[in-house]
A and B are shown apart, each in its own frame.
Chain A
Amino acid sequence: MKGEWLFQGLFWAYAGSALLYILFLLVRDEKWIRGGKWLLGVGVAFNLAYLIWRGLAGGRFPMSNMFEFVVCFMFGIAGVTLLGEKLLSTRIAGVLTAPFNFALALFAYSLDHRIAPLVPALRSVWLAIHVSMAIIAYGAYALSCAFGIMYMIKEKSGDKGLGSFIPPVERLDVWMHKTILTAFPFLSLLIIFGALWAEEAWGRYWAWDPKEVWSLITWLIYATYLHLRYTKTGQNKKLMASFCIAGFVAVIFTYLGVSYLLTGLHAYKD
């Protein structure tokens, strides 16, 4: 297909980016971070172009099946990583999100790339709204998870080894909070728009379908995080960091696990 070279572009850019970040982890020289970030940016550009091409070629939103959801997810993670690094003035976030993004790219490579028409259930303007919210929310949660993992590393190794490249735990705590705070309204909108759409398509805004329940579980984990900050327990920053990690595990399960391991109305994996 004509535009597939764009997918090749994003795949190899993300591969290179992940490689440079991993190289940084091995040799601990910050110049590799710069290269990794640059390639991540190239990947995002290819990713966006590829999504636009697929949308135009298919005459619909490029959000019809698992392959396209993964391509959207990659765009969200890489885009939010770059944006987050700019807003928080750091360069460290990509070290974890870029290799994860490459893992997604590998997964995407294994899926069917053909441009399929939209099944009737997905033919709605809600699709674009619903999935856009997911791109932003899931991207931001990937970032908060990366900060959560860095928190664990920093707490263990202090200023030695890898820890010397990681900002102090207090700052990581603030970043985790900021990213979760930013993503929470989008996650809420994602679920609410999904419910309104389900009402329009199936006549049920909430049917306790596994995908719906897992989205609620994700929401509850982050809502718990936000409420914990009002309590004494919330001062335990390590606990809060583990919430960031658990939350993103739930995101991935909602997004992939439910489609492959559980069945329900919402399994658009083929």
Chain B
Amino acid sequence: MKEKPDRRPSQGIMEFLALISSARAAVVLMIILTVICIVGTFIPQEQPEEQYLKAYGSSLTQLLKGTGLTNLYHSWWFLALLGVISANLILSSINRARKVLETYYKPQVTLPLNSSIRPFSFLLPFEDAQSRLSHELRTLGYKVLEEKQEKECYTYADKRRFSNWGSSVAHVGILLLFLGGMYGNWPGVGMRKDVQILEGEQVNVPEAGFSLKLDKFEARCNEERLPLLYRSTLSLVQNGQEKVQKDVEVNKPLKYEGYTVYQSSFGVVGFAGTATRAKEKAIPYRMIRGEDASLHLKGGKGKDLLIVAHQFFPDFAFTPQGPGSRSDFPVNPVAQLMVNEDPEKSGEEGWRELGWLSPDHPLRYKGYNLTMDHVISYTGLSVKKDPGLPYAIAGFTMIMVGILLAYMAPHKIIRGRVKEKGDGVEVFLQGARRDKAQVYDEEIARLETVLKEGTESSARRKENR
């Protein structure tokens, strides 16, 4: 009876490493990742708690939140899965690279051929058959190695060995992408901040060490309110100096010293106008939603008049629910002004409607001409710095190069065995590719033809003699 060899602890580790580096493990991991991704698209991610409570009820929400299913792609177990996938990628790349190097330095020439292969028989001298075979393989672009033994010769021919590096290159690319993503999101490394700036104002972005000033904002749409343009004319100010000025649009971000500023949202929040009365200085005013803005005018007998915008619609329209806004674009701005003629009455009874104001329809009130001159918008910008981005882009490039190497020009191997038999030879030919693709029929048929032609010409030579 054979004795079982001692199982050293390192053997167990090696077996484990072999297990997680296998193609089989890759398949299992990819299927798990696929299933998790599908789950993640059907459970809404990173929504406010109320939404989950409404959709799933309290106990299910608790379960989903507790297990991380509501922020699945950032949960610890998802990151752990990516970790295992990384281990698989690293180990399989090492394994693969070792095998690829073997095709350069230790090609196995005398490997037994598949037993199911039927040989071709030719009436050709052994040497002649072998030389014709290798000559034709070389013509087809193969590198040919031969190992002659008694009455038989093994041939190992291959081309495009470099293609074997493809899978390692692609796998390392995926790793680089993971690393780039992690590095950019690592606390303290990258940053992302959303800022809102009103037209004409300047906002400091302390994380980036500069301020952004919005000189002008433009939002345009067509008649069906399909957005056509969002454009922020920005100045970037650092240490009191204007460094860059640029029109930032979607797809045209501003780039400055590793930071990128993107157009991300906008809103119309109010308007600016003037109040004028004969022989008096014009009074400019602004009404902005959320700000405690009001216009102070003088009535008869020096009485204070207080005017506010009760409602403001950037794209005014009558809806079944009453006055409303058709869109967020400043297509048809209209404001409803209210006046308080007796500031002592501060409650609701002090206020009455003054009228509806729009650029085309100024309001007249106590000798004043009130106008709406232009709307005031804010721009929503994202300021971002991602030092991991170059690694991610390098990763993308490597994935692409790797895939193209591996699949567009795959490594091809043709193994041959020429065996002396009677007056002629038996020739075994086998095409081999790692993914078992049968792509050799044509080339093997061509080799067969060449050997057949050789047989015919050698027969003719014999006749001539």
Contact = CB atoms under 8 A, between A and B. Distances in A.
Interface of A: 116-117, 119-121, 123-124, 126, 170, 174, 177-178, 181, 184-185, 188-189, 192, 195-196, 199-203, 205-206, 208, 210, 213-214, 216-217, 220-221, 223-224, 226-231, 233-235, 258, 262
Interface in B232-281: 249-251, 253, 260, 262-264
B399 interface: yes
A142 to B, nearest CB: 19
A182 B17 CA distance: 32
B392 A192 contact: no
A227 B251 contact: no
Given A188-B399, A224-B31, A233-B24, A216 B230 contact: no
A217 B34 contact: yes
Contacts of A126: 251
A157 B393 CA distance: 49
A117 B438 CA distance: 48
Given A121-B251, A234-B436, A224 B34 contact: yes
B192 A203 contact: yes
Given A117-B228, A120-B229, A203-B262, A230 B403 contact: no
B34 A220 contact: yes
Given A120-B251, A123-B251, A203-B253, A177 B400 contact: no
B181 A208 contact: no
Nearest to B230: A120
Contacts of A116: 222, 224, 226
A231 B37 CA distance: 24
A189 B249 contact: no
Contacts of A184: 403, 407
Given A177-B435, A199-B389, A231-B24, A224 B400 contact: no
A178 B263 CA distance: 43
B258 to A, nearest CB: 13
Interface string B431-465: 00011111000000000000000000000000000
Given A203-B260, A214-B41, A227-B26, A119 B251 contact: no
What are the 8 closest A-B residue pairs judged by CB atoms, nearest first?
A229-B435, A120-B250, A230-B23, A203-B262, A124-B251, A210-B41, A220-B34, A208-B73
A243 to B, nearest CB: 11
Interface residues of B, number: 50
A227 B403 contact: no
Contacts of A213: 37, 40-41
Contact of A227 (B27, B227, B389, B438): B27
Given A184-B403, A223-B30, A229-B435, A117 B251 contact: no
B396 A195 contact: yes
A208 B434 contact: no
B117 interface: no
B404 interface: yes
Given A123-B251, A181-B437, 16 more contacts: A116-B224, A120-B250, A123-B249, A185-B400, A188-B400, A192-B399, A201-B250, A202-B262, A202-B382, A216-B37, A217-B38, A220-B30, A224-B31, A226-B435, A227-B30, A228-B23
Contact of B30 (A202, A224, A229): A224
Given A120-B229, A220-B37, A231 B27 contact: yes
B408 interface: yes
Contact of A201 (B73, B228, B251): B251
Given A120-B250, A217-B37, A223-B30, A203 B382 contact: yes
B332 to A, nearest CB: 20
Nearest to A125: B251
9 contacts: A116-B226, A119-B227, A170-B438, A195-B396, A201-B251, A202-B382, A203-B384, A230-B23, A231-B27
A217 B38 CA distance: 7
A77 B259 CA distance: 42
Contacts of A210: 41
Interface in B12-47: 22-24, 26-27, 30-31, 33-34, 37-38, 40-42, 45
A184 B26 CA distance: 17
Nearest to B438: A174
B191 to A, nearest CB: 11
B41 A262 contact: yes
Residue with the greatest number of chain B CB neighbours at <10 A, chosen from A116, A188, A214: A188
Nearest to B22: A231
A183 to B, nearest CB: 10
B389 A205 contact: yes
B262 A189 contact: no
Contacts of A205: 389, 392
B243 to A, nearest CB: 20
A41 B328 CA distance: 46
B437 A177 contact: yes
A192 to B, nearest CB: 5
Residue with the greatest number of chain A CB neighbours at <10 A, chosen from B230, B250, B438: B250
A199 B255 CA distance: 12
Nearest to A214: B41
Contact of A123 (B250, B434, B435): B250
Contacts of A177: 435, 437
Nearest to B231: A120
A192 B396 contact: yes
Contacts of B27: 224, 227-228, 231, 233
B403 A185 contact: yes
Interface in B356-407: 382, 384, 389, 392-393, 396, 399-400, 403-404, 407
Given A185-B407, A189-B400, A230-B434, A200 B226 contact: no
Contacts of B226: 116-117, 119
B434 to A, nearest CB: 6
Contacts of A258: 41
Contacts of B230: 120
A221 B34 contact: yes
A180 to B, nearest CB: 10
Contacts of A123: 249-251
Residue with the greatest number of chain A CB neighbours at <10 A, chosen from B34, B38, B73, B226: B34
Contacts of B41: 210, 213-214, 258, 262
A228 B31 CA distance: 11
Nearest to A262: B41
